[in-house]
Amino acid sequence: MPSADIILEFVNSQKLFVVLQEISGKFPAKGHYQADNLEVTCHTSHIMTKKLMLDFFKDVYFDSSMPTNTLLLVDSWSSWKDKSAIDSVSPPSHSCETMIIPPGCTGNIQVLDFGIFNGFKRVIKYITGQLQFDRPDYKINRRDETLKMLSAVYRQICHPKLQPWAQYAWSASGYNIVRPPGFSTPAELLFPNNVTADCSSTGCNETSFIKCLYCDNLLCIDHFLVKEVHDC
């Protein structure tokens, strides 16, 4: 069973870095589900290694879509402190300064841990619950199904409507960031009170359960994830 260890660079990154656990440390010959917003690799364990960290920097953090001058806040894992290793994969066009968060403090001042991951996981929980109710035979723990879920959810939470939510996480973590006057969480926007209706997909008679933040269509579980990954 593959499991996922996710590094999420919110919101500037166009890709989510996913490490799947594979017994052999390699993907099967048939490959895996591909998505433009995922950078997928594997290892014998889902635990990060220095090599995986360098892959993250090369393939995601130093991607051409990212800012060229950045400050990276990370926990006290020893590999984050290896500046020479990070510099070895940094292109000349990019500058990255790393600041280490002291041990035991990530839950208070690491923005992703404090305010982003909970919202991400809550959306996953909503969708998993809908799958268990409507499609109990759908194997969400399989490799491709896991990747489809991550791709669909990551795309939604990167919508500009959720920028105030991300901004609040910085403010609430104690950084000198203006606190937004009001914001909605991903779950509130994706699963509003009026979300239950007819699915917007042509010819579909199923009941919707989620609202796409990009096209505002109401979608059933089949047309959001199971039969096709919604990508309007």
**Where are the chain's structural domains?**
4-167
Mean pLDDT of 183-196: 96
Q: Which residue has the tokens 């635990």?
A: 47
Summarised one tens digit per residue, pLDDT across range 51-99 is 999 999 999 999 888 888 988 888 899 999 999 999 999 999 988 888 9
At 47 the pLDDT is: 87
Look at residue 136 and tell me whether its pLDDT is greater than 60: yes
* C-alpha dihedral sign at 158, 70, 107, 52: positive
User: Is the distance from CB of 227 to CB of 148 less than 8 angstroms?
Assistant: no
Look at residue 4 and tell me whether its pLDDT is greater than 50: no
Q: Which pair of tokens denotes residue 42?
A: 């594997």
Q: Which residue has the tokens 């579980």?
A: 221
At 13 the pLDDT is: 64
| List of long-range contacts for 212-215, beta carbons under 8 Å, 24+ apart | 212/156, 213/156, 213/159, 213/161, 213/162, 213/189, 214/156, 214/159
Rounded CA-CA distance 106/103 in Å is: 7
